[in-house]
Chains A and B, each alone.
Chain A
Amino acid sequence: MQLTGTSALARFAARRDRRLIAGCVVALVLVVLASSSSLKSLYPTAADRAKVAATLQDNPAVIALRGPARGLDTIGGLIAFQLGANGAVAVALLSLLLTGRYTRTEEERGRTELVRAAAVGRYAPPTAAVALVAAVDLVIGLGVAGALLAIGQPLAGSLALGASFAATGVVFAAVAAVTAQITESARAAHGLAAAVLGIAYVLRAAGDVGDGTLSWLSPIGWGQATRPFAGERWWPLLLSLVAAALLLGIAFALLARRDLGSGLIAPRPGSPVAGPRLATPVGLALRLQRGALMGWTVGLLLLGGAGVVDAVLATTFVLGALVAAGFAIQSVLRLRGEESTGRAEPVLATAIGRRRWAGGHLAIAFGGAVIVQLATGVGTGVAYAARTGDAGQVLRLTGAALGQLPAVWVLAGLAAACFGLAPRLGVVAWLALAGAVIVALLGPLLSLPDAVVDLSPFSHSPSLPGGSADPGTLVALTAVAAVLVAVGLAALGRRDISSGA
């Protein structure tokens, strides 16, 4: 029986990742709840909604990003329009990452070999992964529906929006089960599944702007075809389920044709010698981080381009800066990963001191922050220039994005200080970013006291474009970042390097 052990594997994975899964589910549902209730308070009357609908529903750029405009005269319709596409993408991303984690990552680490040597069927690992992720998607869907019901939206529409998220998630779980068969490396499998998601988004965008045919080729389009709050239809959900089942079947067929540990595509051999730039602390750090840096840069370029249609440029820049801070923190904390896996040890046993070793990664984090901020600025600038026909906007908005840089550096510096003092403190930097996100996005809604708002470095950033930049504040923020880095490096020179084992 090729499915023996499926339920045990699914339960084991759920047990192993219960905190991660619970955190993602709660975060997603809370974001939906927060943005829905803010939409509700922004457009309380039918007249308000009619006004915003008029600006949105005939703009092809907005349609391309959000999907078809339906039922914008209701709050539910507005919510589905504003959150639908991004929500589906978020659930799809979570689903494909989790599925890849339970399939190819496990196989790459050699754990699948151990598992399959037990009384476990060949198809059990991917089936368990997809089943668990489908259950997670279902919980998210129910949570989303519950959140919408809680703010007084109709039952059918709430369920349809939740179900459309869940259905899209299940399809991409199955997509990831297929891509996990194709490549040997988990990273490449994740990248392939994410590329399919990107194609699905583009197909839907093209279809929604055009006559709608292409949207039927996209799982995101199937979700939106349920028409939440605009005359719900349920049968498109079946398309998603059938597609997921077919994809899982394809994954089984591929799995049966390959050896454990291998992929359908054999990896190309790499260079047998290191190039001259690689053997420096900065060169090594760049090589280790360049994939991530490129990913964040492209993401922020797109976010910048997407943000412009919302017309609230300053908000896009704050959002972009928060994402850039996320990049910078994870980039600094690569140091922690290098230390905890034991890869730092042989490097530190060479003639590279701790500070130069850390300096290599910090250079990528701080320099990379410049690049991703430029991406936000250029993305926004180009989109804005295309709309207004004023090429000068590119330069103006790029400058505005760079105004957020010192605040991003402060959080990167905090991560460096935490890592220097003790690797496990790295989580403090993430908590600080979470705090900054709450202050920036929900601060006005929650009417937080000024003292709390002032704690976030982003509260001191210039609200460009439009506002003015105070050079003194920017210099002060940069100085804070520099002091934090100095503290981190000094502390790193004093503590024990933890062993990989």
Chain B
Amino acid sequence: MAPAIEISGLVKTFGPTRALDGLDLAVERGEVHGFLGPNGAGKSTTIRVLLGLLRSDGGEARLLDGDPWADAVALHRRLAYVPGDVNLWPNLTGGEAIDVLGRLRGGLDPRRRAALLDRFELDPAKKGRTYSKGNRQKVALVAALAADVELLILDEPTSGLDPLMEEVFRACVEERRAAGTTVLLSSHILAEVEALGDRVTIIRAGRAVESGTLADLRHLTRTSIVAETERAPVGLEALAGVHDLHVQGDRARFDVDTSHLDEALRRLTRFGVRSLTSQPPTLEELFLRHYGDDLGGASPDGASPDGAARDGATAR
């Protein structure tokens, strides 16, 4: 069976802006695929191409073995979508909106609808105009999760949800995964993707910069080590892959590229390890590494005037 989503070299331009600039993305059937990137990276544009709302300017996109533009209606029967910014009809109740969206797709499971309303603690009798951001999001989530579909496309689905509701959302996604549903989960909340994602694609400026399982990606990053040894450790600075080394007496703190972790630990044990904490890399760090140069580019300019002003104030 072909992958649920297969995109290669996708290009979408808006006037002079290249929103998607040769994007590649592959989502296998049955996986939860984290689609990560900051605002403006092209996540929503990709999703809107997949939904046949935008026409691509180049490259290939296949969705559930169909053409997202030409076969939109047939494909939409097999998927459900939650937008990141849900806007409801002001004079329809939440329950009506759920039913409208569900039935226009081809029906939803009434028992699952009732159970989801209960779990998300959503009052379906209120008018759309009276819902808060979080409640509007819940309406879209219930409409999508109550549908019996092969693919869920979720575009920053938890924006506006409180942590308790985010837990409910995660449980629901887990259940759908267990039932064999494929999920494309676009997010900039790393913890969410880390908790749910089987595989992750990180995009930046309309291009995929990293893609793989979380384990694969961790391999590309650094592990933080704090160690206490019997004798003061020496020679760590000579090892390949060791960064930000701080040695204070018998305590050493450093980051090491995960591919060089073994050598670093071998070296440490020579000095008699008394305690060791190692922190695996988080997606956060992975993310920062890919966007780090943006921050690096910004911080000297951003920080120095501030710092200079503070220095100036102390001098006076």
> A interface vs B, CB < 8 Å?
108, 184-185, 187, 267, 269-274, 278-281, 284, 287-288, 291, 341-343, 345-353, 494-497, 499-501
B85–A501 CB distance below 8 A: yes
A/B interface sample: 26 pairs, CB < 8 A? A185-B90, A267-B130, A271-B96, A272-B93, A273-B99, A274-B92, A274-B95, A274-B98, A279-B102, A279-B104, A280-B104, A288-B91, A342-B85, A345-B53, A346-B86, A348-B52, A349-B76, A349-B81, A349-B153, A350-B104, A351-B74, A351-B106, A353-B73, A494-B55, A495-B55, A496-B53
Q: Given known contacts A271-B96, A342-B83, A352-B73, is B126 in contact with A347 (CB within 8 Å)?
A: no
B96–A274 CB distance below 8 A: yes
State how many angstroms separate the Cβ of A233 from the closest Cβ of chain B.
46
A350–B101 CB distance below 8 A: yes
B125–A270 CB distance below 8 A: yes
Residue of B52, B80, B81, B127 near A270 (CB, 8 A) is B127
A500–B85 CB distance below 8 A: yes
State how many angstroms separate the Cβ of B76 from the closest Cβ of chain A.
5
What A residues does B2 contact at CB under 8 A?
none
Residue of A108, A271, A342 near B93 (CB, 8 A) is A271
A267–B125 CB distance below 8 A: no
Chain B residue at minimum C-beta to C-beta distance from A184 = B130
State how many angstroms separate the Cβ of A426 from the closest Cβ of chain B.
19
Chain B residue at minimum C-beta to C-beta distance from A345 = B83
Chain A residue at minimum C-beta to C-beta distance from B124 = A272
State how many angstroms separate the Cβ of B135 from the closest Cβ of chain A.
13
A271–B95 CB distance below 8 A: yes
In whole angstroms, what is the CA distance A288 to B97 when docked? 12
A350–B76 CB distance below 8 A: yes
In whole angstroms, what is the CA distance A342 to B88 when docked? 9
0/1 string, B64-93, CB within 8 A of A gives 1? 000000001110110111011111111111
B127–A279 CB distance below 8 A: no
B96–A273 CB distance below 8 A: yes
What B residues does A267 contact at CB under 8 A?
127, 130
Is B165 part of the contact surface with A, judged by Cβ < 8 Å? no
What A residues does B95 contact at CB under 8 A?
270-274
What B residues does A287 contact at CB under 8 A?
91-92
In whole angstroms, what is the CA distance A279 to B99 when docked? 7
Besides A269-B126, A273-B99, A278-B96, 8 new A-B residue pairs in contact (Cβ under 8 A), listed by A number: A184-B130, A270-B127, A271-B95, A343-B88, A346-B81, A346-B140, A349-B81, A496-B55
Instruction: Assign chain B's interface to a size class.
Output: 35 or more
If over half of B's interface residues share one DSSP class (helix, strand or loop), that class is named, otherwise mixed; here it is mixed
What B residues does A280 contact at CB under 8 A?
104
State how many angstroms separate the Cβ of B206 from the closest Cβ of chain A.
16
What A residues does B77 contact at CB under 8 A?
351
A497–B53 CB distance below 8 A: yes
In whole angstroms, what is the CA distance A307 to B93 when docked? 40
Is B51 part of the contact surface with A, judged by Cβ < 8 Å? yes
> B interface vs A, CB < 8 Å?
44, 48, 51-55, 72-74, 76-77, 79-81, 83-93, 95-106, 123-127, 129-130, 140, 143, 153
B53–A348 CB distance below 8 A: yes
What B residues does A351 contact at CB under 8 A?
73-74, 76-77, 104-106
State how many angstroms separate the Cβ of B126 from the closest Cβ of chain A.
6
Chain A residue at minimum C-beta to C-beta distance from B92 = A287
State how many angstroms separate the Cβ of A70 from the closest Cβ of chain B.
45
What B residues does A349 contact at CB under 8 A?
51, 53, 76, 79-81, 153
B51–A348 CB distance below 8 A: yes
A278–B100 CB distance below 8 A: yes
What A residues does B81 contact at CB under 8 A?
346, 349
B44–A347 CB distance below 8 A: no
State how many angstroms separate the Cβ of B181 from the closest Cβ of chain A.
16
Chain A residue at minimum C-beta to C-beta distance from B88 = A343
State how many angstroms separate the Cβ of B114 from the closest Cβ of chain A.
10
In whole angstroms, what is the CA distance A501 to B83 when docked? 11
A288–B99 CB distance below 8 A: no
In whole angstroms, what is the CA distance A280 to B103 when docked? 8
In whole angstroms, what is the CA distance A184 to B104 when docked? 30
A279–B76 CB distance below 8 A: no
A278–B104 CB distance below 8 A: no
Q: Given known contacts A270-B93, A346-B83, A352-B73, is B103 in contact with A496 (CB within 8 Å)?
A: no
What A residues does B90 contact at CB under 8 A?
185, 187
What B residues does A494 contact at CB under 8 A?
55
State how many angstroms separate the Cβ of A423 from the closest Cβ of chain B.
13
B93–A346 CB distance below 8 A: no
State how many angstroms separate the Cβ of B92 from the closest Cβ of chain A.
7
In whole angstroms, what is the CA distance A379 to B210 when docked? 69
In whole angstroms, what is the CA distance A349 to B76 when docked? 6
B106–A342 CB distance below 8 A: no
What A residues does B72 contact at CB under 8 A?
348, 353
Q: Given known contacts A284-B100, A350-B101, is B89 in contact with A343 (CB within 8 Å)?
A: yes
A269–B76 CB distance below 8 A: no
State how many angstroms separate the Cβ of B111 from the closest Cβ of chain A.
14
What B residues does A271 contact at CB under 8 A?
93, 95-96, 125
Closest 4 CB pairs of A and B: A274-B99, A279-B103, A270-B93, A269-B125
Chain A residue at minimum C-beta to C-beta distance from B47 = A349
Q: Given known contacts A343-B89, A499-B48, is B76 in contact with A270 (CB within 8 Å)?
A: no
A350–B105 CB distance below 8 A: yes
In whole angstroms, what is the CA distance A267 to B130 when docked? 10
What A residues does B85 contact at CB under 8 A?
342, 500-501
Which residue among A187, A278, A349 has the maximum number of chain B CB atoms within 10 Å of its CB?
A349
What A residues does B104 contact at CB under 8 A?
279-281, 284, 347, 350-352
What B residues does A343 contact at CB under 8 A?
87-89
Chain B residue at minimum C-beta to C-beta distance from A348 = B53
State how many angstroms separate the Cβ of B155 from the closest Cβ of chain A.
10
What B residues does A279 contact at CB under 8 A?
99-100, 102-104
Which residue among B100, B101, B103 has the maximum number of chain A CB atoms within 10 Å of its CB?
B100
What B residues does A346 contact at CB under 8 A?
81, 83, 86, 101, 140, 143
